[in-house]
Structure 1
Amino acid sequence: MKKVFKDILYELDKKKYSCIHSAIRDEKQLIDELSEFLKSKTKFIKSNNEFLANKRYIIVIDDIWDEKVWRLIKCAFPKNSLGSRIITTTRIVSVSEACCSSSDDIFRMEFLADDISRRLFYKIVFSNERGCPHELVQVSEDILKKCGGIPLAIITIASLLASNHQTKAKDQWYDLLNSIGHGLTEDHNVEEMKKILLFSYYDLPSHLKPCLLYLSIFPENFKVLRVDLIWRWIAEGFVHSEKQETSLYELGNNYFNELINRSMIQPIGIDDEERVEACRVHDMVLDLIRTLSTEENFVTILDGTMRKVSNLQSKVRRLSIQNGKMDISTTSMKQVRSLTFFTHGIIDKVQLNICSFEVLRVLDLEGCTISDPGYMKNLLHLKYLRLIHAHVNELPVEIGKLQFLQTLDLRRARGIKELPLSIVRLRHLICLYVHEDMKMPSGMGSLKSLEVLDELLVGQLSSGNFNQDTAKELGQLTKLSVLRFKWRCINDITDKTLVESLSNLH
């Protein structure tokens, strides 16, 4: 890179830089002045403009973290129409856009292709590109898969395996493979990578730090849906605004996009609204946020590496259960605010005393079998309840007592055939997901805070029942921003009522 830089300097101004050594001296002078930049901004801007006024120059500014910094830096470089160029690098999309007059000037780095990743890895570990012993081929591929095409990860792991210019034994390779995604090692090279990731984390605004740490709840390589994540953040209190008219969901969506722009999470897919559908956390970043979450007592993960919770019971704040074979039968943790199951097990009062979680705000029982949902009536602080694919026959009538409930997700919970009448008392309910065979109670128009109503069926259900009042009451839900519904076997009167209701929604 240094040679390329010197060659470019020479070609840009052959008269001035006919001798490479003079180019080096002027380059050093520029760097020395840059180091004084923060000490005397005005002096540097003036002197540098004079120095470059009639010169054709190329400047490379690496790793800009803030748009304000760029606006200040660019003042030091004159626009002289001599074909000069300024190249900047950043991990933040908004900064790259601020640095360019056109989006066409932005080059977005792709992850390394598998063959290039392999060549880079082999070159560092074996000092050549094709020298991998047969017995290490499979473990090499597994390690490269964990690195995800990120040069920093590949170089760091490869350097670790090639330390002291000796290739480590096969069992050490597997030890390293198993450590990726399950806690950073104490090796110096890995620590260097951790420092870089830590710098990215500590550079986050204060409101984004808990949002990122919250992602440590999810298992490795888990596809986290954007919409679900935002509603979770809102329930946890991470998204808040002093302006009452501000939509918390849109604010949370801005948080999500900012984490993508800062390369802290990886976007997955585009939905019907042309927004990012989901995200995934790279293994190395997940390592970091799990470590930080443990240190700050932010999240507790039960994933098989820890058989039971005993003396930590009173300290647990957010609990993520990722292995159904653990002994949690006596667990009673009154301070738990969030409980998420990633194992499709049987949940009842005997196995896990959820009713004792007096300050629980988030409860996610996706795919679980719930033998007795009656305990939900005691979760008075609950704001988020997710029962997707859950095997449960009904919601308790007492669910109407959950006056703080904001999100109720019942998609594909086919055992629930109808919502209890008490549901209409949930005046803070913002988001309601149902399924198309679910009978809605009369009085749904009372849910004045509702912004999302999804998978609703207007008309005749497969059971033969009718959602008779739904068509009329939709018009009373004036805050709705997302409405997805189907209709079946509706008559002319219902059809006319439905059209009138929809015309009231903006």
Structure 2
Amino acid sequence: MNAILRMHSEADDGGGDVDHFVREWTKQVRELAYDAEDCVDLYVFRIRCPRRGAGVLVRSRRILATLFSRRALAGDINGLCARAVAISERHARYGVNREALRRAPFFAPVSGLAESARALRRRAANGHDEFVGIRGQANTLAGKVGAVGTDKRLKVFSIVGFGGLGKTTLAMEVCRQLERAFQRLALVSVSQAFDGRKEDVEGLLKRVLRQIVKVKTNEEGIRTEEHDLVSEVDTMDLDGLAHTVEELLGNKRYLIVIDDVWTVAAWDAIVSRLPENTCDSRIIVTTRIETVAKACCSDVGGDYLYPLKPLNSEDSKELFLSRAFGSKDAYCPQELQGEMDTILRKCGGLPLAIVSIASLLTSYGSKDMWERVCRSIGSHMESHPTLEGMRQILTLSYNHLPHHLKGCMMYLSIFPEDYVIHIGRLLHRWIAEGLVEEKRGLTSLEVAEAYLDELMSRSMIDAVTSTGQDQRALECRVHDMMLEVMVSKSLEANFASLLGRQYEGITYDRIRRLSIHGGEHGSMAAGQMNMQHARSLSTFNLEGHKLLDRLGEFSLLTVLDLQDCKGLQNKHMRDVCRMYLLRYLSVKNTHITLLPPKVGELEHLQTLDAMHTGLEGLPDTVTKLKKLERLLFTNRNDYRVWWLPSRGLSKMKALRELVRIGIKDVQVAREIGELQQMRVICIYIDLMKTLSASFAAP
């Protein structure tokens, strides 16, 4: 089942080759896989065997006590088998074959050249195209590209940035400004369809030749061709094309833009066929992926890598007004000012989003319709033709992800708009959810960090704060428009269920991962839903108690993140300590003052975050948590409160991060020294007491 789901994930979403029946059939397979996983975990939860060394009497009692549970699970397994047979028969009856789920070598290209250029271009009064918001950046980059120095070798510049940010438009404007400075110019789009095959390189060289071998008009107005090759291009093979390009560009100063490069392999295949002369020639590469940009440019540390910035608030407003009201000098009615500000905040300086939404609003003049569009941008992206181009551009980045990163990216749909996510919180939640694959020689955290680096390199996640010489990210966020795409993907795959705020009114058949976004309404809606299949619960500023009073029903929960939950009380912690399968538990920034000793029975727990709570300490049973990797504890009212563990800490062999521990027993210090996996520790030693004891000793 997992193999089928992976094949569907890697199938050609962009080209639409996966038809609606295959999608529905895959959805049924996905739900079957979810239920099979539930069945396995229910066995672990209800019928877990006694520990090794238990006597015959203990084992016999356990078998009798779980007899009815075993019978019920046997019935569930039979039901799963029957469903699997029915799905398989449906597969055979309607002729779904592996060809329908083939792994696509590429996705159908969407012309970034057309979409991005239209986003930033508006028609000026003199009839010429005028670019909005990038004039300053274009002037800066044109100065660097066009500069003539003593080093005449070929230079490569990389423009990198989020999809729809205007990379292609910037490159086009630079070409326009430098048209007279170069003898040959060409702009070709590569897109993710290009994988370096012979046919791909041939097609690219043909497009280059058609632009550099073009019909010109001489001083007498007579149209001439510098080379009679236009008609011959289509008949040339790869070697002939490369030879012709070398012949035409070998001793000329040329500027070529390679737009939308997705892989280093594609770049290597392209650059190997372009002449490297000493005529101050230039190549400009645009890409969404930072690692590709660095591999392409001449010098990462110099001026050759150009990260494109979003539009500032002034340019964003100018672009919005020019599209929504026909002029940058237009006046937005006072009653629509608030909605315009909200839309611009959501767009986050992304030109493609600003233009697409502004174009949609041109047909709506009422405040009510503007408010409705603000609330439902995600659904409009799926159904309204005006926003279809924007959705395709943004979805390309997701579709091009490897299978193992798609789940990690969809997981971000759990967090609210504009939410700043702590990196440690995200990585350890990925691990607890089983989204991080095991790799030989690497810890799960190291693999998760590599996943995050890759998503940041692809400009899909933005770093908010960084630290250290390597500028390691501490916090991150997702652009609101990309978040809308992730929410759409997540809901389609039943990956997560969202309640509260703009998600009010949505109903769900089966809840796997539940995320409640603030207030009491989300809690009230969740209070009427079946939670027995939920594997993850996240709350964001939850105030109501209705859902919290039902925590005992979340028997299969592996992730419980109650950070900032105002309604959490000590009584709820009793139910939390019965969640046997729990791997991640956060009660950070809550008002609880008691953690029951039964927390020591959560033997699968990997993260326990009790930062900034009312706890005066932790129960001694915490030392029974042999799989615990992170233990974080501070008191919100008194920074002098530390966890003072008793002996037994040496049993926590997996511990890697331990924050705020006090030591009053030398043996405890020795036991900490035995924890070989420890990487981060915040420790307090009462030196005054230690010195006093030393002086008092005979």
2:263 to 45, 60, 66: 66
- Matched with 2:579 is 379
- Matched with 2:613 is 413
1:194 to 372, 388, 391: 391
- Matched with 1:500 is none
Q: Indicate the structure whose relative CO is greater, using CA pairs within 8 Å and at least 6 residues apart.
A: 2
- Matched with 2:652 is 447
Query: For residues 235 and 455 of structure 2, what CA distance do their matches in structure 1 show?
Result: 32
Q: Does 1:473 align with 2:671?
A: yes
Query: For residues 287 and 466 of structure 2, what CA distance do their matches in structure 1 show?
Result: 24
Amino acid at match of 1:474: I
Cα distance change, pair 109–150 in 1 and its aligned pair in 2 (3 A): same
Query: For residues 240 and 116 of structure 1, what CA distance do their matches in structure 2 show?
Result: 43
Cα distance change, pair 479–50 in 1 and its aligned pair in 2 (3 A): same
Q: Offset at 1:27? A: 11
Cα distance change, pair 100–28 in 1 and its aligned pair in 2 (3 A): farther
Q: Does 1:322 align with 2:492?
A: no
SS in 2 for 1:208: helix
| Conserved? CA contact 1:147–1:153, under 8 Å | yes
Query: For residues 225 and 473 of structure 2, what CA distance do their matches in structure 1 show?
Result: 48
Q: Does 1:281 align with 2:478?
A: yes
Q: Offset at 1:344? A: 3.6
- Matched with 1:157 is 357
Amino acid at match of 1:403: E
2:499 to 299, 302, 313: 302
Moved more, 436-445 or 89-98: 436-445
1:430 to 629, 632, 640: 629
Q: Aligned pair count?
A: 477
Cα distance change, pair 438–200 in 1 and its aligned pair in 2 (3 A): same
SS in 2 for 1:453: strand
Q: Does 1:334 align with 2:532?
A: yes
Cα distance change, pair 101–27 in 1 and its aligned pair in 2 (3 A): farther
Q: TM-score, normalised by structure 1?
A: 0.85
Query: For residues 226 and 686 of structure 2, what CA distance do their matches in structure 1 show?
Result: 77
Query: For residues 5 and 310 of structure 1, what CA distance do their matches in structure 2 show?
Result: 51
Q: Offset at 1:32? A: 10
Cα distance change, pair 108–307 in 1 and its aligned pair in 2 (3 A): closer
Q: Offset at 1:17? A: 8.9
CA RMSD of aligned residues (A): 3.3
SS in 1 for 2:515: strand
- Matched with 1:458 is 662
- Matched with 1:499 is none
SS in 2 for 1:207: helix
SS in 2 for 1:80: coil
1:125 to 310, 320, 324: 324
Q: Offset at 1:201? A: 0.6
| Conserved? CA contact 1:445–1:474, under 8 Å | yes
Amino acid at match of 1:458: G
Mapping of 1:244-255 within 5 angstroms? 245-255=441-451
Q: Does 1:106 align with 2:301?
A: no
Q: Offset at 1:305? A: 5.3
Q: Does 1:259 align with 2:440?
A: no
| Conserved? CA contact 1:293–1:299, under 8 Å | yes
- Matched with 1:503 is none
Q: Offset at 1:391? A: 2.4
Cα distance change, pair 4–290 in 1 and its aligned pair in 2 (3 A): closer
Query: For residues 3 and 138 of structure 1, what CA distance do their matches in structure 2 show?
Result: 33
SS in 2 for 1:432: strand
Cα distance change, pair 183–303 in 1 and its aligned pair in 2 (3 A): farther
Mapping of 1:357-396 within 5 angstroms? 357-368=554-565, 369-370=568-569, 371-396=571-596
Amino acid at match of 1:259: L
1:221-255, Cα deviation, whole Å (9 max, x unpaired): 11111111000000011112231x30211221121
| Conserved? CA contact 1:384–1:407, under 8 Å | yes
Amino acid at match of 1:13: Q
Amino acid at match of 1:214: Y
Q: Offset at 1:272? A: 4.9
Q: Offset at 1:53? A: 2.0
Cα distance change, pair 7–400 in 1 and its aligned pair in 2 (3 A): closer
1:78-122, Cα deviation, whole Å (9 max, x unpaired): 111111100011111101100012122111111111111111222
Q: Does 1:90 align with 2:287?
A: yes
Amino acid at match of 1:123: S
SS in 1 for 2:307: coil
Q: Offset at 1:398? A: 2.1
Query: For residues 189 and 119 of structure 1, what CA distance do their matches in structure 2 show?
Result: 20
Q: TM-score, normalised by structure 2?
A: 0.63
Cα distance change, pair 302–441 in 1 and its aligned pair in 2 (3 A): farther
Q: Offset at 1:340? A: 0.8
| Conserved? CA contact 2:650–2:675, under 8 Å | yes
Q: Offset at 1:357? A: 2.3
2:343 to 143, 148, 153: 143
1:485 to 677, 683, 691: 683
| Conserved? CA contact 1:89–1:96, under 8 Å | yes
SS in 1 for 2:311: coil
1:123-176, Cα deviation, whole Å (9 max, x unpaired): 22222211124334443233212211111111111222235xxx7334332322
| Conserved? CA contact 1:70–1:99, under 8 Å | yes
Amino acid at match of 1:377: C
Q: Does 1:402 align with 2:602?
A: yes
Q: Offset at 1:204? A: 0.8
| Conserved? CA contact 1:419–1:441, under 8 Å | no
| Conserved? CA contact 2:548–2:572, under 8 Å | no
- Matched with 2:411 is 214
| Conserved? CA contact 1:360–1:382, under 8 Å | yes
Mapping of 1:21-100 within 5 angstroms? 44-100=241-297
SS in 2 for 1:409: strand
- Matched with 1:134 is 333
Q: Offset at 1:31? A: 13
1:177 to 343, 350, 374: 374
1:179-237, Cα deviation, whole Å (9 max, x unpaired): 23676362212111111111111001111101110011111111111111000000011
Query: For residues 279 and 503 of structure 2, what CA distance do their matches in structure 1 show?
Result: 65
1:63-87, Cα deviation, whole Å (9 max, x unpaired): 1111110111101111111111000
Gaps of 5+ in 1: 460-465, 497-506
Q: Offset at 1:421? A: 2.2
SS in 1 for 2:252: coil
Query: For residues 484 and 347 of structure 1, what CA distance do their matches in structure 2 show?
Result: 34
SS in 2 for 1:485: strand
| Conserved? CA contact 2:417–2:480, under 8 Å | yes
SS in 2 for 1:95: helix
| Conserved? CA contact 2:517–2:542, under 8 Å | no
Amino acid at match of 1:261: S
Query: For residues 32 and 286 of structure 1, what CA distance do their matches in structure 2 show?
Result: 48
SS in 2 for 1:195: helix
SS in 1 for 2:256: strand
Query: For residues 76 and 337 of structure 1, what CA distance do their matches in structure 2 show?
Result: 52
